[in-house]
Amino acid sequence: MSRAARLLQLLEHLRARRQPVPGAVLAEQAGISLRTLYRDIATLREQGALIEGDPGVGYVLRPGFTLPPLMFSEDELEALVLGARWVASQAADPELARAAQGVMNRIGATLPTALRLGVETSGLFVPRRAHAVPAAPWLPALRQAIRAEHALWLDYRDESGAATRRRVWPFAMAFFDHARLIAAWCELRQGFRHFRADRVVDLADTGARYPERRHALIRRWRAHMHAEHPQLETAADRS
């Protein structure tokens, strides 16, 4: 976990308590030493967090502290709410769904009362589809591999049912209404390939970083897609 993420997590622990929390408890929750906790408390205080308390007494966060980057307009908040609700209901990835809910909880905890009420009572909803894309237990491993630029062993069945095992370099995943699509460089075919998530039998992270950076793969993939389908605009072109 990065230090920035750890500081945000520490703020969340403090916000959840009304009474002073012993430093040892906070350190245990964060998985850090007491000395590191004291440094983190000092850093948050320097950033304007109103944390009261001392070693041996405990710490409590006074209400009213708002992180400046989380000041959004009403339109921006509605976009965040809608996006988070879509991920929670449509992504077919339980870990990603929990992360989306965590984002909304964090935003709600730092907003002024009026804006928080608007988020909590937003009238923008994402209905569940009658035929939802089934969850796949390996989706978190896939996202982690994309993030870490790791090669994967992929067990796959094509449209005809033929099974193959191949080593791929995943660099993107598209969330279509009817399916999830994995974009990767395939060592077996020595080219870019797209794999339907519902045809993946299993995958395993090799733990080894593939020899090319993800942004370079995406650049080459975009050039390949334009050459093969000049009329097609990819999602990456709009980002």
Segments making up each domain of the chain, as ranges: 3-61, 68-120, 139-238
pLDDT level of residue 239 (50, 70, 90 thresholds): very low
Has residue 238 got a pLDDT over 50? no
Has residue 149 got a pLDDT over 60? yes
Has residue 13 got a pLDDT over 60? yes
Q: Choose between 66 and 85: higher pLDDT.
A: 85
pLDDT score of 164:
93
For residue 145 the two structure tokens come to 């591999």
pLDDT score of 91:
65
The mean per-residue pLDDT over the stretch 189-211 comes to: 93
Topology of domain 3-61, per CATH? Arc Repressor Mutant, subunit A (1.10.10)
pLDDT level of residue 236 (50, 70, 90 thresholds): very low
Mean pLDDT of the chain: 83
pLDDT level of residue 73 (50, 70, 90 thresholds): confident
pLDDT score of 86:
85
Has residue 119 got a pLDDT over 90? no
Has residue 190 got a pLDDT over 80? yes
CA distance 186 to 166: 7
Residues 36, 38, 39, 44: is their CA dihedral positive or negative? positive
Instruction: Indicate the class that CATH gives domain 139-238.
Output: mainly beta
Contact predicate 151/206, CB 8 Å:
yes
pLDDT level of residue 162 (50, 70, 90 thresholds): very high
Residues 75, 81, 84, 85: is their CA dihedral positive or negative? negative
SS3 (DSSP) at 172: strand
pLDDT score of 41:
93
| Topology alike, domains 3-61 and 139-238 | no
pLDDT score of 65:
60
